[in-house]
Amino acid sequence: MRTDNHAKRILLGISGGIAAYKAPLVVRKLRNLGADVVPVLTQNATRFVTETALQAVADNRPRTDLWDAEAEAAMGHIELARWADAVVIAPATANVIARLAHGIADDLLTTLYLATTAPVFVAPAMNVRMWEHVATQRNLERLRDDGVTVLGPADGEQACGEFGPGRMIEPDEIAEKVTAAISTRVLDGTRVLITAGPTREFLDPVRFISNRSSGRQGFALAEAARDAGAEVTLVAGPVHLSTPTGIERIDVVSAQEMKDAVTQRAPDADIFVSVAAVADYRPHTVHDQKLKKSQQPSTDFRVALKENEDIVGSIAGVEPRPFVVGFAAETENPLEHAREKRRRKCMDAIVVNDVSDAAIGFDSSDNAVTLIHAGGEMGLPKMRKGAIARRLVDEIATLYASAGRGS
């Protein structure tokens, strides 16, 4: 089983249509899904979107010119073409589509197209009449024959005021389609069970104990596992996140409900990733009616708690069992605590993050983690949760395969 544990490298070609104003969003969405993006603008594109905006979101210097000696010295265009895991052209104008279809290499973007062996995606954006023109359709047919994937266009109102096909599909759709298409299918044929989010432990009908988990890291892992070819079941606590396409989602509220859902599905899973921040305790008594202040004569309001069963421990401790990966959010000595936790709960691997740093972890879009397993440790520096998820999935697939459980 091959793993390819670097961020996917994408050349984002931007040509000169009005939809180019959405290019920074395409960059952001691709980065959120873990990609490293170098924008390549045609001269016409620079009239619609600035290099400064693209530099800020891509964190890589945009390229515009085949004759930029400084940029070429840093990474020549042939090297850049080899660097790419994918070339995405969004928006792709009728003009750029025509030049690609005819193999004309008269600027940096079209030269890169000829020089790369990576998969190419184009997201057309143009006026409906230009889209429907026989020449455009002929050029697109050629591109398809040459192995290019055409994304869209969407139908609807256009910048020129007309209606019909020719709108560029939305940036998140472009990013999702491209990422899914180029993901290495390291989990093909596996069934992955993931828990995500917090749990709520009710005290009465309106009050509960919970925690700050947003569920974002678990949902990102579910998407990354799906894109890697796995059949994914996601057991989610109460979170404000929409269900990723192609994933079976089971909503639960309390730790007990989560345990029931996991226990029922674990026998069918090859890999169990326990990302959820499960409440360790629940109120001893759940009151049917809302507790009244007057019912508590003392100023000290005490709630008796009892311990929730450990879900991951109950799955990892009994053979036969799936390959088990836990998560640990720590505020002090994260590595030491996590190493101990992995051994105590019999987990194959554990992913630890330091939640005392407000810039990562709980309720943040970034994370920085260390994956600890019996054979070593791997640190992943601060990056988007989507990027963390993809790197973790690659690593988990490798561990799973070397544990003799994978194909």
In the complex, the residues that contact ligand C5P under the rule CB under 6 A are 195, 255, 274, 276, 278, 280, 308, 310-312, 326-328, 341
Minimum CB separation from ligand C5P for residue 206, in Å?
A: 24
Given the residues 160, 181, 286, 359, the one annotated as active site: 160
Whose tokens are 């054979």? That residue is: 375
Q: Could you tell me whether strands 9-14 and 149-150 are parallel, antiparallel, or unpaired per DSSP bridges?
A: unpaired
Residue 179 CA to residue 184 CA, distance in Å, equals 10
Q: What is the smallest separation between the CB atom of 332 and ligand C5P, expressed in angstroms? A: 12
Q: Which is nearer to ligand C5P, 20 or 279 (CB)?
A: 279
Question: Distance between CA 314 and CA 259 in Å, rounded?
Answer: 9
- 132 or 309: CB nearest ligand C5P: 309
21 close to 49: Cβ distance less than 8 angstroms: yes
Q: Both tokens of residue 222? A: 């579910």
Least separation, in Å, of the C-beta of 377 and ligand C5P? 17
3-class DSSP state for residue 249?
Answer: strand
CB 376 within 8 A of CB 359: no
CB proximity list for 107: less than 8 A, separation 6 or greater:
42, 43, 66
- Give the C-alpha separation, 54 to 90, whole Å: 13
CA 124 to CA 165: how far, in whole Å? 10
Helix (H) and strand (E) counts in the chain:
14, 19
Minimum separation from the CB atom of position 324 to ligand C5P (A): 9
Closer of 284 and 290 to ligand C5P (Cβ):
284
- Residue 274 CB, shortest distance to ligand C5P, in Å, is 4
Residue with tokens 């998560």: 327
Based on CB atoms, which residue is closest to ligand C5P, 36 or 310? 310
Assess contact for 209 and 201: CB atoms under 8 A.
yes
Q: How many Å apart are CA 75 and CA 70, to the nearest integer?
A: 9
CB of 357 to ligand C5P, least distance (A): 17
CB of 273 to ligand C5P, least distance (A): 8
As a whole number of angstroms, the distance between CA 157 and CA 166 comes to 9
Residue placing its CB nearer to ligand C5P in the complex, 231 or 310:
310
How many angstroms separate the Cα of 308 from the Cα of each of 200, 254, 282? 12, 10, 6
Residue 346 is a catalytic residue: no
Specify whether the CB–CB gap between 385 and 378 falls below 8 A.
no
For residue 101, give Cα distances in angstroms to 64, 137, 138, 365.
21, 11, 9, 40
Closest CA to 89 of 52, 57, 44, 132: 44
Based on CB atoms, which residue is closest to ligand C5P, 40 or 279? Answer: 279
Give me the least distance between CB of 278 and ligand C5P, in Å please: 4
DSSP code of 244? P
What does 209-233 look like in DSSP terms, one character per residue? E-----SHHHHHHHHHHHHTT-EEE
Q: What three-state secondary structure class fits 87?
A: strand
Catalytic residues: 160
